[in-house]
């Protein structure tokens, strides 16, 4: 048993599950966006902004953004614990990643629901 | 004369500053010898070359070595399986500290094995003769109990290379599942609780190096998947 305090879910199982579920959400979101662009040749600003007017699309986008945040936290945490053996540097990198992801999420909420 | 070039990893901490590769020419007389035979012929040329061996029939698991980049037991690996362009490169198992030449320090490997408590735990008073199992329950142990702890799998696993102190490794996890799957063991819950951290089981990325090198043809990745399933069933 190894105790960890910097991973997302504290337990290996929850991290593993979140990683898989967020991957599915991201895959669905990517497929939807690619399909949308392909089926709307000559896509203009009005169509694009109308798409993001609907509550469903905003929720889907927020779900994708939260998935990116969780997925990246778990994934980068794994990479750092594998390759960065200096504890101070690893902690700094982990904090930078978490703060960056936090910023991205808040910023995206502002973009989605802002004026 | 059929000469084979064998490049051997040499390191004696008492006399060498750092490891080096030494080439030997071995006359195989065209025979498809086992790699172990070739190492013994090398030792006849230079008695300072050291390696581990015991049963010479793939049962004891002491002669795990990296042969042309692939881990395996030298005693059951014929030259035809590993030699490329008439050259054989022999190195100690990767990821473990080298004691001398082809001999590695297996302490980290055994420590992980110990951590999964590789013995039956049952507090019920045993019956007069033995604890019986149904044939179906016994079948669940096939593909698990055959492990000989040669460390070929764990030392071919990058996750074990980077975190040998935290990740149990394929060999240890195969044995962890061997006791989780045993109908006679009563400590399933406690065993699972000790594995539910981000390293012990979940550092496995499923690249299956362990499966591809296991000299006994076992499948640690499958066992790891089963442990995950048990953890999931218990937690959801």
Collect the ranges in chain A with pLDDT lower than 50: none
Q: At B174, is the pLDDT very low, low, confident or very high (cuts 50, 70, 90)?
A: very high
Give pLDDT tens digits for B67-118: 999 999 999 999 999 999 999 999 999 999 999 999 999 999 999 999 999 9
Which residue is closest to B190 within chain A, CA to CA?
A1
At A115 the pLDDT is 61
Look at the block and give the residue holding tokens 């009005």. Answer: A46
CB nearest A1 (choices: B159, B194, B232):
B194
DSSP state letter for B9: E
Q: Residue B200: list chain A partners with CB under 8 A.
A: 1-2, 12
Chain B residues lying within 8 Å of A83, measured CB to CB? 162
Q: Which residue in B194, B197, B228 is closest to A4 by CB distance? A: B197
- Pure H helices in chain B: 35-45, 79-82, 107-115, 135-139, 158-162, 169-180, 188-193, 209-213, 220-235
Model pLDDT, residue A40: 93
The SS3 assignment for B108 reads: helix
pLDDT at B152 over 90: yes
Nearest to A15 among B200, B202, B232 (CB): B202
Give me the phi and psi of B176, to 5 degrees please: -60, -45
Does residue B28 contact residue B79 with C-beta atoms inside 8 Å?
A: yes
Give the ipTM of the model, two decimals please.
0.84
Which are the contacts of B221, defined by CB distance < 8 A and separation ≥ 6? B170, B204, B206, B208, B210, B211
| CA angle, B221 then B99 then B144, to 5° | 20
Q: Would the CB atoms of A12 and B199 count as touching at under 8 Å?
A: yes
Shortest Cα–Cα distance, A101 to chain B (Å): 21
Q: Which of B162, B193, B200 sits opposite A82 (nearest CB)?
A: B162
**Residue A6 at interface with chain B, using a CB cutoff of 8 Å:** no
Q: Which chain B residue lies closest to A83 (C-alpha atoms)?
A: B162
CA distance B23 to B81: 20
Check if A86 contacts B (Cβ < 8 Å). no
| Chain segment B14-40, per-residue pLDDT in tens | 999 999 999 999 999 999 999 999 999
Interface of B with A (CB under 8 A): 159, 162-163, 166, 193-203, 228, 231-232, 235
**Secondary element (H or E) of residue B160:** helix B158-162
Residue position matching structure tokens 């881990």: B71
Q: What is the pLDDT of residue A95?
A: 95
Please give the share of chain B, as a percent, with pLDDT higher than 70: 100
Chain B: give the shortest CA distance to residue A8, in Å: 10
């Amino acid at each position: 048993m190894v105790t960890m305090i910097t991973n997302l879910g504290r337990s290996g199982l929850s991290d593993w599950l979140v990683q898989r579920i967020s991957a599915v959400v991201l895959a669905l979101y990517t497929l939807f966006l690619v399909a949308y662009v392909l089926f709307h040749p000559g896509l203009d600003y009005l169509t694009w902004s109308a798409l993001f007017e609907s509550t469903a699309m905003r929720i889907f986008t927020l779900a994708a953004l939260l998935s990116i945040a969780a997925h990246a936290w778990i994934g980068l945490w794994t990479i750092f614990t594998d390759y960065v053996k200096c504890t101070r540097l690893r902690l700094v990198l982990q904090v930078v990643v978490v703060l960056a992801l936090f910023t991205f999420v808040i910023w995206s909420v502002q973009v989605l629901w802002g004026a | 004369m059929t000469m084979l070039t064998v490049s051997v990893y040499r390191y004696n901490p008492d006399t060498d500053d750092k490891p080096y590769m030494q080439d030997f020419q071995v006359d195989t007389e065209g025979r498809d010898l086992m790699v172990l035979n070739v190492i013994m012929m090398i030792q006849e040329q230079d008695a300072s070359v050291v390696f581990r061996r015991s049963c010479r029939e793939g049962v004891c698991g002491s002669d795990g070595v990296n042969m042309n980049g692939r881990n395996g037991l030298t005693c059951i690996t014929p030259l035809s399986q590993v030699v490329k362009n008439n050259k054989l490169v022999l190195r100690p198992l990767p990821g473990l500290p080298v004691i001398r030449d082809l001999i590695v320090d297996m302490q980290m490997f055994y420590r992980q094995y110990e951590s999964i408590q590789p013995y039956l735990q049952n507090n019920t008073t045993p019956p007069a003769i033995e604890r019986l199992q149904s044939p179906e329950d016994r079948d669940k142990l096939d593909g698990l109990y055959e492990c000989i702890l040669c460390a070929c799998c764990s030392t071919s696993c990058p996750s074990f290379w980077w975190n040998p102190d935290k990740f149990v490794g394929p060999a240890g996890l195969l044995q962890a599942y061997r006791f989780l799957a045993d109908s006679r063991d009563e400590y399933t819950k406690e065993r699972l609780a000790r594995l539910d951290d981000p390293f012990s089981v979940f550092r496995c990325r499923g690249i299956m190096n362990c499966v591809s090198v296991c000299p006994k043809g076992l499948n640690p990745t499958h066992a790891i998947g089963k442990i995950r399933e048990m953890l999931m069933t218990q937690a959801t």
